[in-house]
Amino acid sequence: MLDIKYMLEITPSLLSVLHVTLIILIASSTLGLGLSILVTAIRIKKVKYLSKVMDLFISFTRSVPIVLQLFLMYYGFPFLLSMIGIHINDFSAAAATVLALTLYNAGYLSEVLRPAYLAVEKGQHEAADGLGYTPFQKFTRIIAPQVIPIALPGWGNALVYLIHDTSLIFTIGVADIMGVANTLVSSSYGAHQIEIYLTIALLFWAITVSADTMVRIFEKKAAKYNLSNGFAPKKKAKRKMRILVQKGV
């Protein structure tokens, strides 16, 4: 029979390290978004040599399991730096986790942002150029408000995947929820495994639902902004984006 009392007893222990998961999640998602914008810009502009490097980067991050990327970052990154004379003696597991998840998230998001950008009608670019907008003004006033609502669902999916991936960071020694769970399982000699893992599942469920709700709120606000500014209908742009993704543009 499920021991609800035990689940309530261990919840404070699990919540005591929840901030570790949340900090890594927020840092990785924020840095990943920033890096994905840079990667997307390089690919769209087809910068010589760099665009090919970015294609390889995306192929690698999307093809290699995240747990292997964590190991490569934690054990391989300091080794690579040592080969060029840079020695890191205090490279923490938390830093390796943030770097690995940032790169992984950036690779995934780039495949969301590029089709979203290409889904904006060319006439919008031409109209902005005709009005004498600078590239920055064109992007911030015309392009970005249309790209954001198209990309938001994909960004929401990336955020959910990132939440799931944080459950693996204990494998390189980060003292997070799963790390505490393993300690609890060992201390109870496996007698309460179901209760422990079910409690963790409920915590991750709560985090994911909260993130999904936040994304939906952003979607509604972005759609309302687009409607008030007379931009292209969201459904049409999303349909075009799906076509571009299928074609591998």
pLDDT in tens, 144-185: 888 888 899 999 999 999 999 999 999 998 988 999 998 898
Q: Mean pLDDT score of the chain, rounded to an integer?
A: 86
Mean pLDDT of all residues in 75-86: 88
Place of tokens 């970052």: 73
Find out whether 233 and 167 touch, Cβ atoms under 8 Å.
Answer: no
Q: Looking at the predicted structure, is the pLDDT value of residue 81 above 50?
A: yes
Share above pLDDT 90 across residues of the chain, in percent, rounded to a whole number: 55
Q: Select the more confidently predicted residue: 97 or 235.
A: 97
Q: What is the pLDDT of residues 91-126, one digit of tens each?
A: 899 999 999 999 999 999 999 999 998 888 888 888
Q: Copy the structure tokens of residue 153.
A: 């669902």
- Per the CB < 8 A criterion, the answer to whether 180 and 14 are in contact is yes
Per-residue model confidence (pLDDT) at position 140: 83
- Give helix 18-45 / helix 50-63 axis angle, nearest 10°: 140
The CATH number that applies at residue 125 is 1.10.3720.10
Range of the domain at 234: 4-247
Cβ atoms of 94 and 19 closer than 8 Å? no
pLDDT at 34: 95
At residue 237, the pLDDT reads: 47
Entry pTM:
0.84
Q: Would you say 161 and 111 are in contact if contact means Cβ atoms under 8 Å apart?
A: no
Domain count, the chain: 1
In this prediction, residue 245 has a pLDDT band, given cuts at 50, 70 and 90, of very low
Between the alpha carbon of residue 37 and those of residues 32, 71, 110, 142, 187, the distances in Å are 9, 26, 7, 17, 45
Q: What integer pLDDT is reported at residue 226 of this predicted model?
A: 64
At 167 the pLDDT is 92
Contact indicator for 213, 83 with CB cutoff of 8 Å: no
Percentage with pLDDT > 70 across the chain: 90
pLDDT attached to residue 241:
44
* 194-232 tens-digit pLDDT: 999 999 999 999 999 999 999 999 888 877 766 666 554
Checking if the pLDDT of 244 tops 70, the result is no
